[in-house]
Structure 1
Amino acid sequence: MPSTTVIILDEQPPPPQALLDALASMDAELSARSLAQLLTGPISALPEADVLLAPAQIPGEPVRTAVRRLRRRAGAPIAVVWTTDDFEALEDHVRLGHDYLVPPFLPALVGARLHSCSERAELGRTLQEADARAELMSYEKELEIGREIQAGFLPEDLPVPAGWEIDVRFRPARQVAGDFYDVFELVHRRRLALVVADVCDKGVGSALFMALIRSLLRHTAENSGLQHLVAAGRSGAGIPVVGATPLLNAVTATNGYLTRNHLRQGYFATLFFAVLDPATGSLVYINGGHNPPLLLDADGAEPVPLEPTGPAVGVLPDCSYALGYAQLDPGDTLFVYTDGVPEARCPDGRFLGDDRMIDLLSESAVNGRAVLDRMDLAVRQHTGEAEQHDDVTMLALHRPRAARGPHAAGQAVA
C-alpha cells in the first residue's frame, strides 16, 4: 500500500490504543500537531498531509478551517474523525463532509479507510494542479492578447519625409510594455511629430496607461488648431513656430487628464515629444522628465543633450512646460532612448551606464541605423545571460548629407 501521511490532532481525548496500533501496523507517516498550530501558525510551516485525524468531540468548524489551511499549503487533505461512543458529535462532522472511523479499529479496516482517503487526497492534488495549469494558460493567453492589442498602438510603418531617415529598436522586458514610441504627421503633413515615452513600472498596469497616454497625446496633437506660437529661438528673437501649439496642447492636456482622473493609481510617464520641420531641420520639443536625447554631430563632436523642459506627465496638476529648440544639419542624428538602455544590467548587476553609452555614441556613424545597431549590440552584450529588467526603446532621427530622392517609408525594427 502506498504511504499515507497522517496528522494526528494532539487534543483531548487522545486516540484509543487500538487505533494507534492499527496506524502503526500500516505504511503511514504520522505526525502530531495541536489545533492552535494548524489554525494560527504560518502557512509555510504547516506539514503536507493526506489525512487530518481528529476526535469527534472537537467542533466541526475548527477542523474544517484547519483542513482549508492545510490545502493552501499543499494538496487536498481529508478530515477523518474518530469516536468510540459519541455518535451525536460524529453526525455533526459527517454533515460537514468529514470521513470517520468507529470501532472496531482493526488494522485492515483502518488501512482500507485511510488508503481511500489518500487516493482522494491525491485526486484533489491532481485537480488543483490541473486548475493551476489551466489558470496559467488562461493568463498567458490574456497576456498574448494584450501584447497583440498593444502592438496595434505602435506604428508599423513610419512616415518619413524625403531627405530624412528614422529607425527604431523596441524590445519589451515582458510580453507587454510600458515604453512606447510614435511618429505621425501634423499641420497638413508639413510637420512630423516624434514621441518616445516610458510609463513607470512594468507589466499589465503600465501597458494600460501606455495605451491611454499614447492615445491622448496623438489625438490632442492631431486635433489642435494650426495657430502659431510666437516663441524665442536661440537668438532670443520672437519667431513663429508652426507645430508648437499641437505640441504644448498635447502634453498639457494629457498631464491634466491624468492628474485629474488617475492620480491615485500612481502611474506617470516621462516623455520626449518633438515636432520637426523637415524643410529646415529645426526641432521644437518638450522633454517631460525624460532621459535627455542626444544630438550627434556629423563631425563627431561631443553629443549635445536635450535636457528636460518640464516634469513627467501625470505627476503635478496644472504644471507648465517650456519649449526646447534644436537644429539638425545634414549628417546629424538625434538619438532618443528610454532608461532601459543605460540601466541594462549584466549578470552581476552592474549598469551599462550613461558614460559608456555616450562613449559609444561619440564614435562616428554613417546613419541612424548604424547608431542603433551599435547601441543594441552593446546592450545585448552587456546584458549577456542576465534577465532583461526593463523595456528597451531607441529611436534615431537622421538627416543624411545628401537627399535620397522621393518620399520613402521608414520601417520600425524590433
Structure 2
Amino acid sequence: MEQRGRLVVAATTLIRSSGTRAPAVLGTVHNELDGVPTLEVALRLDSVPVPQPLDLPLPAEIDADGRAVWRLPSTPAHARHADPDTDPAEQELRAALAHVDTLECEHQELKNELAETNTGVLAMYVESEERDEQLRRAHAVIFRELEDALRPPAPEVPGLEFGVRYQPAEADSPTGGDLYDWFLLPDGTLHVTVVDAVGHGVVCTRTAVTVSHTLRTLALEGHPLDVLIRRTSEINPGLMATVLLARLDPRTGELRLANGGHPRALLVRGDGSETAYLPVDGRGVGFPKPGSAGIREERLHSGDVLLLYTDGLIESRGGEDQGETRLITAAQRHHRAPANTMTADIVRDMHDIVRHRDDTLILALRYLPPASGHPGL
C-alpha cells in the first residue's frame, strides 16, 4: 500500500508539472519467464517536463511515446490467481488514480477560467483607462475654451504693454474665482478690474463673472470710480468678492486706484529706483459697508510697471507680510523682462514652495508712451 501511495503522489506531481489532461491508464502485464503479473500504470504527457522532477516519491520511466510508466509487482497474495479487474487492491488504486485525474482536470479548468477572467478584467481596466483619458482630454479642451471666454485678450493700446498669468489652485478647476477685465472707456482711458470671489473652484466662477460684468456695465455707463464697488454690492446682494480697480490714461500716465478689500497694487519704477505698494482702504462686494474709502492717484513714467494680483500669489507660504516682501524681490529681479515673461517668472519664484494652494492671478501693465522713443513704438 505504501508503494501504491507513492505512485499516486508521483502521478499527481507529473500531471501538474506537464499540464496533461489525459487520464492515467492502469493495466497488467505478465512476465514472460515466470508469468507473474506486473501492475503497469501509464500516463501520457502533453509535454515532458525538462528537467523531470527529481523528487518524485516513485520515479517513472519515460518511453519513446512520451509516456510516464510505472511498473509495480502485483499483490503477492493474488499474484497468480487474482483478477486485476476484480481485485479490491487494484480497484482501489484505479479509483485513487481516477480521483487524481478528476481533481487535476478541475484544477486546470479553474486555472484556465481564472486566467480568462483576469484577461477580461485587464481588458476592462485598459478600456476604462482609455475612456477616462478621452474624457480628460475632452474636459481639458472645454476648460481651455471656457477659460479663454472668461479671460479677455489685452486691448491694443499704444504706449502700454500687457502681461497676464493665471494658475488655478486645482488642475480640474481651471476657471476658479479669480477673474480680470480690461477695456477702454469712451474717453480713451484704460479700465482694469481684478476680482477674487470668496471660495475656490468652478463654483466661484459664477460670482466672479457676475461681479466683473456688473463693474464693466457701471463703468461704461459713466459711474465714478469711487462708487463702482459699492453700487456693484447693492446690485448683487449675497455675492462676496474682493475687488481692485485701476484707471490709467495712456496719454499722460495718470493712474487712479480704488480698492475693495483686495491686495494692494505694486508699482515698479522702470529705472529701478523704487518699488512700492499703493495702498487704498476699502471693503469688498458683499462685505459690511462695501466700497473704496478713497482714490489713490499716481503718475507712471516711461518703463514703469504696475502689478495687480490676487492673494494666491503672496500667500502660498501662509504669511501675507512675508509674501509682499518676496514679491518686491521677485518684481525687481524680473522687471526688465517682457510683461508676459515677467508675470510667469514672478509666479514661478513666488510658488517655489506652496504650503497653501489658492487660485493665483497677476497682471502686469508696462507704460511705454510713444514719446519715450522706445524701440518698436
TM class by smaller structure? 0.5 to 0.7
Q: Residue 279 and residue 244 in structure 1: after superposition, are their counterparts in 2 closer, same or farther (change >3 A)?
A: farther
Aligned position for 1:276: 248
User: 1:196, 1:272 within 8 Å by CA — same for their partners in 2?
Assistant: yes
TM-score (norm 2): 0.56
Aligned position for 2:227: 248
Q: Residue 154 and residue 116 in structure 1: after superposition, are their counterparts in 2 closer, same or farther (change >3 A)?
A: same
Aligned position for 1:355: 325
- The alpha carbon displacement at 1:151 in A equals 0.7
- The alpha carbon displacement at 1:140 in A equals 3.7
User: 1:282, 1:325 within 8 Å by CA — same for their partners in 2?
Assistant: no
User: 1:293, 1:334 within 8 Å by CA — same for their partners in 2?
Assistant: yes
- The alpha carbon displacement at 1:292 in A equals 0.9
Mapped partners of 1:202, 1:312: distance in 2: 17
Q: Aligned ranges for residues 60-71 of structure 1 at < 5 Å?
A: none
Q: Secondary structure at the match of 1:341?
A: coil
Q: Residue 170 and residue 362 in structure 1: after superposition, are their counterparts in 2 closer, same or farther (change >3 A)?
A: closer
User: 1:272, 1:287 within 8 Å by CA — same for their partners in 2?
Assistant: yes
| Percent of aligned pairs sharing the same letter | 24
Aligned position for 1:305: 277
Mapped partners of 2:188, 2:359: distance in 1: 32
Amino acid at match of 2:224: A
Amino acid at match of 1:167: F
- The alpha carbon displacement at 1:132 in A equals 4.7
Confirm whether residue 393 of structure 1 aligns to residue 373 of structure 2.
no
Aligned position for 2:258: 286
Aligned position for 2:148: 151
TM-score (norm 1): 0.52
- The alpha carbon displacement at 1:194 in A equals 0.8
CA RMSD of aligned residues (A): 4.4
User: 1:301, 1:362 within 8 Å by CA — same for their partners in 2?
Assistant: no
Q: Residue 307 and residue 115 in structure 1: after superposition, are their counterparts in 2 closer, same or farther (change >3 A)?
A: same
Q: Residue 158 and residue 116 in structure 1: after superposition, are their counterparts in 2 closer, same or farther (change >3 A)?
A: same
Question: Which of the pair has more CA radius of gyration?
Answer: 2
Mapped partners of 2:198, 2:129: distance in 1: 30
Q: Secondary structure at the match of 1:158?
A: coil
- The alpha carbon displacement at 1:129 in A equals 4.8
- Cα deviation, 1:252-277, whole Å, max 9, x if unaligned, reads 354345543x5xxxxx4333112234
Amino acid at match of 2:127: A
Aligned position for 2:193: 195
- The alpha carbon displacement at 1:183 in A equals 1.2
- The alpha carbon displacement at 1:335 in A equals 2.0
Aligned position for 1:56: none
- The alpha carbon displacement at 1:293 in A equals 0.5
Q: How many residues align?
A: 272
Q: Aligned ranges for residues 28-43 of structure 1 at < 5 Å?
A: none
User: 1:300, 1:363 within 8 Å by CA — same for their partners in 2?
Assistant: no
Confirm whether residue 323 of structure 1 aligns to residue 273 of structure 2.
no
Gaps of at least 5 residues in structure 1 are 1-24, 28-105, 227-242, 263-267, 346-350, 410-414
Q: Secondary structure at the match of 2:124?
A: helix
Q: Aligned ranges for residues 368-407 of structure 1 at < 5 Å?
A: 373=341, 376-380=344-348, 383=351, 389-400=357-368, 403=371
Amino acid at match of 1:182: D
Mapped partners of 1:308, 1:118: distance in 2: 71
Amino acid at match of 1:359: T
Amino acid at match of 1:168: G
Gaps of at least 5 residues in structure 2 are 1-14, 18-101
Q: Residue 146 and residue 215 in structure 1: after superposition, are their counterparts in 2 closer, same or farther (change >3 A)?
A: farther
Mapped partners of 2:261, 2:180: distance in 1: 16
Aligned position for 1:138: 135
User: 1:341, 1:352 within 8 Å by CA — same for their partners in 2?
Assistant: no
- The alpha carbon displacement at 1:402 in A equals 6.0
Q: Residue 279 and residue 165 in structure 1: after superposition, are their counterparts in 2 closer, same or farther (change >3 A)?
A: closer
- The alpha carbon displacement at 1:145 in A equals 0.8
Amino acid at match of 1:336: L
- Cα deviation, 1:182-234, whole Å, max 9, x if unaligned, reads 21022x23432112233455543344544444333323432x2x3xxxxxxxx
Mapped partners of 1:337, 1:269: distance in 2: 14
Match of 2:305 among 328, 333, 343: 333
Mapped partners of 1:214, 1:140: distance in 2: 29
Aligned position for 1:221: 219
Amino acid at match of 1:287: N
Mapped partners of 1:374, 1:182: distance in 2: 19
- The alpha carbon displacement at 1:298 in A equals 5.5
User: 1:168, 1:393 within 8 Å by CA — same for their partners in 2?
Assistant: no
